[in-house]
A = this chain, B = another copy of it.
Amino acid sequence: MHPVPEAAISATADEIREAALEQFARDGYSSTSMRDIASSVGIKAASLYNHFGSKEAILWDLTLTAFEELLRCRDLAIANLPDNPTPQDRLACLVTSHVAFHARNSNQALLVNSQLAALSKTHYRKAVAMRAQYEATMREVIDEGITKGVFTTIDARVTTFAILQMGMAVSGWFRPEGPLTVSDLCAIYVDLAAKMLTPLPLKRKE
Q: Could you tell me which A residues sit within 8 Å of B by CB distance?
A: 27-28, 30-31, 114, 117-118, 153-155, 158-159, 161-163, 165-166, 168-169, 173, 180, 184-185, 187-189, 191-192, 194-196, 198, 200-202
Contacts and interface: CB of A to CB of B under 8 A. Distances in A.
Contact of A161 (B153, B159, B163, B169): B169
A185 B158 CA distance: 8
B200 A27 contact: no
Chain A binding site: helix, strand, loop or mixed by DSSP? helix
Nearest to A167: B162
Copies held by the complex: 2
A198 B168 CA distance: 23
A184 B158 CA distance: 11
B192 A162 contact: yes
A51 B67 CA distance: 44
Given A30-B30, A196-B192, A162 B154 contact: no
Nearest to A187: B154
Contacts of A184: 155
Contacts of A28: 28, 30, 117
A195 B200 contact: yes
Contacts of A168: 169
Contact of A180 (B158, B169, B191): B158
B192 A180 contact: no
A189 B165 CA distance: 13
B194 A200 contact: yes
6 contacts: A28-B117, A165-B166, A166-B169, A196-B196, A198-B200, A201-B201
